Structure 1
């Protein structure tokens, strides 16, 4: 889900990328200048260096008693650096105390895109010039970009970082980025368990597409190839095993684990094309050992140039596998992009977006039983041109609904069961600017809807609508459930689209 469309009047709007909201009202520039003038190092009282920032239930009492919060200059003998020789997915390794592989898989995807990383990690920060123990990072949260200030005190045991760390001991961008996101979510414990899509959206403010790989469309690899060529972010997950543990299977795949999709490529072996997918394990080690793995003899059957371009024999967590093994080993995949333009078959066609921040209040939280009480949004779609009729997907509209219960701690409150329904508005019904009543809904069925109402942060659906006017109704499953939401609608450019709240 994207930030507002950038226009001259919105470039400086609060919550835009150029003027992000100051998270917890902390202004980085003001604090930084004050610290420099006083020759002090920052200590963040809003995310203090104590167990409250670790969170409840994550660490044992024994571990908590051993933690010492240290600044990077106290951890390494040589000069600490924010970034050493650029940002890379091979820089970091997941800590053993925190199950945030979903977040790290997202970093693996984002770290390949310099323009996105430059948004998330603002420039002119270092441990040398202007150093005052203060750093800041930017994330997209529920329709707004936010700027998050942190100090650089990190939890250690025996002088070793207990959470995310860099394989380069003097580099600290991974640990500080994780700390900033933990602050946004409430604590490090609030990062334990999640979905790749959540962090991908928070890094980009982009549109999210979710796929059940057991019901994947026939052209999924083509979509992935288009996404890769357009530098679109992709992540995926494996199903859980019989326990909650991340069990490593005999073939090297980890159960209940998130991975990054880092490439797609087609090779020819024995005169037959083979579609390959490149994966990255955010542990930074541990790889698939089946066909097309690093030491697979199948690499000897392809052209030398293909082998040279693809094969890298190193236990760095990255590996290739066939598309068939990919859909068999993984159960879900997420694609996140600032726009679904990569789905177009024509460069003359593009997608546009609009979004609306709304609420289910005591008056408008109708639930399914009283669907007409919910917020309503009208969308008009015109017949697309021939240029927009093709592409990797025939669908011409994507609707996304994200809930926000306004709680500081990500895991403190369970998500409501949410979804949306789409109704066609007959031409004979005149638009009087008001909400549609019970009689409208009792006489017709929705033409599209979410597959189910789910207790997720976001639900989305791709579908194809005939030209006409439609009513989108976001709803919780039960009446009286109150929360804020962000409704986003993406359509192909020639589809004249206007969202009107009624």
Structure 2
């Protein structure tokens, strides 16, 4: 389809982010969220021998938010530092694992499913959870985490006062009583969202992108590509995060007889093929961020089908009630509604290719009466929408055998400080091939 007529000067050149790598807002030099500098605050607390209290996310009902807890419950909340709860409190016990935590009194399974995926990728994990934090060396009650937000990385500081009732954490809980990285990570993300209540309900893709700063690929499982399992398998071999969600139920988080919870997010933790006799079976391993309630059908923990595979394949068999389970790809497609893959680089999309992806970005907006031209049904105004020219240069010789793929991702920046108050508009884009006669136009 040819592009619509465009007035000269209306198109915008796409920006290249290669020159920004290492600059402010990058993973190595993140911006200071709410202008709070971790090192400066740490120095002040050490010199004054004081414990940090965050004025921008204070330990009071404002940070929990409205509607999440009943008033009588809110009145019982006490904010306590981990060292007051347990003198042997630790930021991380042994290693970080998806089995470290279980969901609390917020409907933020979308966030915790993403955290479960993050625990598999050490490089990404170290970006989000900076090293060197503890309750022992230079402890001031100050912690920090990093998230990617709409094009830039931010360093987010928090104090370690956590909301409790009867000295028990209200929200995400660690299965190891004295481990606190999950609760502190959740608190930092709640600060970014505006409050704990602002984390109630969401899409797994949101947190996946905030943990990677990468591209996002979404699949509707009712109409999946024929090679989706192969895509997932290649993705698992790369540095990617994968999550999925079940269809909504008649009631919130309804549990089915087969063990699956409706309206719930899960982590994709492995993609594997076993041989059942002479026949290959494609499997997917999933994790419920509740830390319990598993699929009980074919290839589940107690399925006799594991007795039909080789000893080597049987090593993948799970027997613990920990929220993680296997199922066949066919059952996965029948059971789940959609899935998301998010990564720093989408190499997994091509089976064999020596070329490297180049990322570019541009910030734009739809302005009523100016650049909001509507969809193609509005032929008189469609051309006024923001437009971007993308030129694909000649490929490197190493890439000649591959495909000249282009992946376009569109994200919407919030217009409100609190996540749940942000407007969500139906947005989209069209991709047009520019005819040769138009390629000589200069902008």
1:8-23 to 2 correspondences below 5 Å: 10-23=20-33
2:383 corresponds to which of 372, 385, 390 = 372
The answer to whether the Cα contact below 8 Å between 1:234 and 1:334 also exists between their aligned partners in 2 is yes
- What is aligned with 1:415? 424
Q: CA deviation at 1:390?
A: 6.8
Q: CA deviation at 1:108?
A: 0.4
The answer to whether the Cα contact below 8 Å between 1:36 and 1:132 also exists between their aligned partners in 2 is yes
Q: CA deviation at 1:425?
A: 2.1
Residue 430 to residue 327, structure 1, CA distance change in 2 (3 Å)? closer
CA deviations 1:170-213 (Å, max 9, x no partner) are: 11000000000000010001100011111000001011100001
Q: Distance in 2 between matches of 1:287 and 1:378?
A: 48
Q: Distance in 2 between matches of 1:267 and 1:387?
A: 34
- What is aligned with 2:363? 357
- What is aligned with 1:238? 246
For these two proteins, the number of residue pairs brought into alignment is 424
Residue 118 to residue 430, structure 1, CA distance change in 2 (3 Å)? closer
SS of the residue corresponding to residue 437 of structure 2 reads coil
1:6-405 to 2 correspondences below 5 Å: 6-7=18-19, 10-76=20-86, 78-95=87-104, 97-243=105-251, 245-308=252-315, 310-362=316-368, 363-368=370-375, 369=378, 370-382=381-393, 388=399, 396-405=405-414
Q: Distance in 2 between matches of 1:286 and 1:268?
A: 27
Q: Which runs of 4+ in 1 moved over 3 A?
A: 3-7, 382-391, 430-434
Q: CA deviation at 1:345?
A: 2.7
Residue 390 to residue 193, structure 1, CA distance change in 2 (3 Å)? farther
Residue 129 to residue 383, structure 1, CA distance change in 2 (3 Å)? closer
- What is aligned with 1:481? none
SS of the residue corresponding to residue 418 of structure 1 reads coil
Root mean square deviation, CA, Å: 1.8
Q: Distance in 1 between matches of 2:400 and 2:248?
A: 39
Q: Distance in 2 between matches of 1:300 and 1:135?
A: 48
Q: Which runs of 5+ in 1 are unaligned?
A: 435-502
The answer to whether the Cα contact below 8 Å between 1:100 and 1:192 also exists between their aligned partners in 2 is yes
Q: CA deviation at 1:296?
A: 0.6
- What is aligned with 1:493? none
SS of the residue corresponding to residue 436 of structure 2 reads coil
Q: Distance in 2 between matches of 1:381 and 1:14?
A: 28
The answer to whether the Cα contact below 8 Å between 1:11 and 1:19 also exists between their aligned partners in 2 is no
The answer to whether the Cα contact below 8 Å between 1:205 and 1:338 also exists between their aligned partners in 2 is yes
SS of the residue corresponding to residue 139 of structure 1 reads strand
Q: Distance in 2 between matches of 1:166 and 1:420?
A: 42
Residue 12 to residue 112, structure 1, CA distance change in 2 (3 Å)? closer
Q: CA deviation at 1:384?
A: 5.4
CA deviations 1:416-439 (Å, max 9, x no partner) are: 1111112222222364445xxxxx
Q: More strand per residue: 1 or 2?
A: 1
SS of the residue corresponding to residue 333 of structure 2 reads helix
SS of the residue corresponding to residue 49 of structure 1 reads coil
Q: Which runs of 5+ in 2 are unaligned?
A: 1-14
Q: Distance in 2 between matches of 1:43 and 1:199?
A: 26
Q: Distance in 2 between matches of 1:416 and 1:373?
A: 18
